Chain A
Amino acid sequence: MSPEDRYDDFDELLRSALRDEADTITPAGDGLSRIQQRVQQRGFRQRWMRPALALGSVAALAVIGIGAAVFVSNSGDDKVTVGNSPSPQPSDTAPTVPAAAPDFPNLAIFPFTTAVAEQGWEQDYANGGTQWEADPAQVATHWVQDYLNQPSVNRVVDTTDDGNDKLVTLGRVLDAESHQLFKVTTVRLTPYVNSWIVVGASDPNDFLSISSPDPGGTAITPVTVSGPAFGVEEAVKFDVRDATSTTSYGSNTVTFGNGHPPWHVSVNFNRPSSPIGVLVGVDTSPADGGPSRIVAQQIRFSPAEAHQPPPYFYAIKNDRITQFASRTGDSIKYLTSQQPGGGLEDPQVYGSDVYYLQGAGTCANALMKVSTSADGSDNGDIVASPDTGYAILQYAIGNLATVVFEQACDPARTPEAKLVTIPSLPGANRNVIDFPSLPPTLETDPSFDGAESTQLMTAILRTGTESSLTRYDVYGDDSPTPGRNACSGLGPEDGQPKALESDSGGTLWIALQTGSSMDVVRCGANGKPKLAFTVQGQDVPVDIDVTGDGSAVLLTDDHGKVWRWDGSGNPDELSNNIPLTHVSW
């Protein structure tokens, strides 16, 4: 038996080994009483401290202010940190004039980009939440491993002071014969209250550097990145990323070396969803393909950028997920490979991924996703599969859950359809709303009610010949017809709703078929619809996709025509040379 045969069932072996090991572990029986005892002790301590906290927080700010001065005068002493400020203690002599808060680092990129976000963590920190944010080496390691996704860069090689800042140099072991440990990046961290904040990273050997744009400078797509040349056959990938999530907006690779003049590269990026981003450059080691140098700095996105429609949208072409130019409708690149069985449909962009259904028209379909930065050879990852005997017809991706509408492959099966909520949170139970027989049924993809919504979702519910906008509580409902009208001011006389989408603020955008036109209306919390734009003609809306801030809309019809509306006036019909019925940006 070959080793390969022997470990074909390796997953199962690992699973059973872990379970067997776990079964041998039996906790002592006094766990609950020990926890309750500690809770009680903490309760007394916190209640004792609480009256002092209001004064104590003022005192803490004063201590921080003093601490900063001490820090400067003791710049060589590692032990003097603002993070180790003494806890506030009850005091009769607390100052009555509030001290000024320290300035938040204006080049912050991780783990917080605003003082408000940092303050949220401070509250958790005080209550026993995560502690790593208070340790510069741990912050640097988290940033490189989790944010930059460079798990091999896992050695803290050096930590030095630079005024108030700390410089933490991280390295890795070369995955080649020499197994040499070498420095990859020096992370600069600035203290703020109890946390340490990454404000940039440089090449420890000072070879790779960015001359333009400046740290904290404003970037408009495409951004030109340049720097001095060095080395031999260098390949550096530059990535424009969101600072508050791992979303990549766009990347490009520049090769240089062999005495070439200064390098430059143009990076196209998608419309950012937050004002602060990070420009990251990663040089690759020819020895093992891992990172050899990492540089990073903050960039800010132009406010004008926020009012431009996204440069790309995504749709299906030749049975592959494809990126198109929003201005013209021209196809730009494939994201997925040609997959056996094909049947791709219904793409929806969420974050930096495009979700889609694969195996359409079969009972073996699945909800898949692929990164928007994929290069055309990707097979996608499975997000959800239907229950046996069912196929996924529609879906919605939410903040903390995915909802799929599944229909039985055999109409005699009961229930004939079901709306299934699959939570992202570990341990949470899924919720299933049975549709015993059809109708009622869901007309098209539902949509969560805004970026923050975890529970409320709106769908077009068809009962016979009538369609209505119905709001579901995806965890609390068990009836297919919960009777909540998501836009009370919209009546049958306004037209038949055919497609909908919520923007991140929760405003519902609805495409209506009136018989003589396609109308797109928006409906806010007051339930009153307001006309956004109209496309004259007898075409039937199929899909609508709206940007997070509601400033631009894509609309498709049953003939595969695509309209782009930029927030005012009439929509432009794109000149896509193939029919596109489902689009997303």
Chain B
Amino acid sequence: MDTLGQVDTRRDADEALVALYTAHYRSLVRLAALLLHDTAAAEDVVQDAFVAMHDSWRRLRDTDKALAYLRQAVVNRSRSRLRHLKVVERKTPPATPESAQIHGGHVPSAESGALHALERQHVMAALRGLPHRQREVLVLRYYADMSEAQIAEAMGISPGAVKSHASRGIAALRQTMELSS
């Protein structure tokens, strides 16, 4: 039988889950989708993170800590998912560049001739080609607007490593963009 304390904790966890879902679910799915490039997988990852957060509520007991936990869980679980996909990819024939573009949905339409739109597509394509840690740092920095310290916390690495991944990632993106231009 649950004690009163356990009942209270579970009720708090239920309430926190709803509050955090309302405020952050969409942005967390978007964050995961930017890391995974797959909306359905992103939703799975974020739902996993919410379930784990609910389980860990006894330790968290604070919505700010819980949000930090959720972000960290989303980043880590996205990374695990990508690692799994890489294993699967190794066992399947590589896609042709054309088919990859079609699957990615990034062939510019005939109407879309604007240079900036094309540039953004190139940036996203180049971003997807980066090593996962560099991509994570850049997404957290430029999409989630997180500081170096916050990224370090979310990724479980040192601020120095964040800086290093960011500068390498930016340099690689610039190089790719310059080559493509």
Interface, chain A (partner B; CB < 8 A): 3, 6-7, 10-11, 13-22, 25-28, 31-32, 34-36, 38-39, 42-43, 46-47, 124, 127-132, 142, 145-147, 149, 151, 154, 246, 423-429
Contact = CB atoms under 8 A, between A and B. Distances in A.
Contact of B17 (A11, A39, A246): A39
B181 A3 contact: yes
Nearest to A14: B142
Contact of A22 (B34, B47, B173): B34
Nearest to A47: B2
B30 A35 contact: no
A265 B173 CA distance: 41
B15 to A, nearest CB: 12
Nearest to B20: A427
B124 A21 contact: yes
B55 interface: yes
Given A34-B47, A246-B158, 8 more contacts: A13-B119, A13-B120, A17-B123, A27-B43, A35-B54, A39-B17, A39-B54, A423-B64
A180 B24 CA distance: 44
A495 to B, nearest CB: 38
B68 A42 contact: no
Contact of B133 (A3, A20, A35, A145): A145
Contacts of B48: 128
B101 interface: no
A424 B149 contact: yes
Contact of A15 (B142, B156, B165, B181): B142
A128 B162 CA distance: 25
Given A28-B43, A146-B158, A149-B160, A131 B80 contact: yes
Interface string B122-151: 011001000101000011001110100111
Contacts of B174: 7, 10
B142 A32 contact: no
Contacts of A423: 64
Contact of B120 (A16, A129, A147, A246): A16
A539 B12 CA distance: 55
A124 B47 contact: no
Contacts of A19: 143
A21 B174 CA distance: 19
Nearest to B23: A427
Contacts of A130: 76, 156
B131 A32 contact: no
Contact of B64 (A34, A46, A129, A425): A425
Contact of A20 (B2, B71, B120, B160): B120
